Amino acid sequence: MVEISNSQLSQLEVTFQQQPAARDRPLIAGDQAAALMQLFKVFANDTRLRLLHALVREDELCVGDLAEAVGMKPQAVSNQLQRLVDRGIIGSRRDGVNIYYRIIDPCVPVLLERGLCLIECCPEEK
């Protein structure tokens, strides 16, 4: 279980804000492209995207609430959450018998917003 304090989360947000824009970076190398591809594979799952969006909307939720939000069994949700934890995208904390999850990577809400913008503002031509 990855637990992160509010001060650690604040530091991640500062680090994110200090990153140069993509246009200001050199062209990505092959190994960076491969790492980026692996990261995008994590996001290439409708359940994980819905779980992340639920966490963006509510900040922190337990497995049962997330399962209800996406209409799945808690065990199936737990499996998807573990993949996100393993990538350092979300963190968790235990409170009694419940485990609560929240997004710890400040890039994730921005990525979801940009992705939603792409599908809502620039729909594919038919």
- Asked whether residue 22 is assigned to any structural domain, the reply reads no
Task: Report the distance separating Cα 71 and Cα 21, nearest Å.
Answer: 37
Strand-pair partners of 92: 101
**Tens digits of pLDDT across the chain (126 residues):** 444 456 655 655 556 567 888 899 999 999 999 999 999 999 999 999 999 999 999 999 999 999 999 999 999 999 999 999 999 999 999 999 999 999 999 889 989 998 998 888 876 654
What is the domain-level CATH number for residue 47?
Answer: 1.10.10.10
23 in any annotated domain? no
CA 4 to CA 20: how far, in whole Å? 25
Q: For the chain, how many structural domains are there in total?
A: 1
Instruction: Note whether residue 50 is domain-resident.
Output: yes
Residue 126 domain flag: no
pLDDT for 7: 61
pLDDT at 118: 87
Cα angle: 91, vertex 96, 101; to 5 degrees = 20
Task: Quote the CA–CA distance of 91 and 81 in Å, as a whole number.
Answer: 9
CB burial of 46-75 (b: ≥16 within 10 Å; e: otherwise) equals ebbbbbbbbbeeeeebbbebbbebbebeee
Distance between CA 22 and CA 89 in Å, rounded? 20
Query: Is residue 37 situated within a structural domain?
Result: yes
- Domain range for 103 is 6-15+29-121
Q: Is residue 21 part of a domain?
A: no
Residue 1 included in any domain? no
Query: Does 41 fall in a domain?
Result: yes
**Which pLDDT does position 18 carry in this prediction?**
73
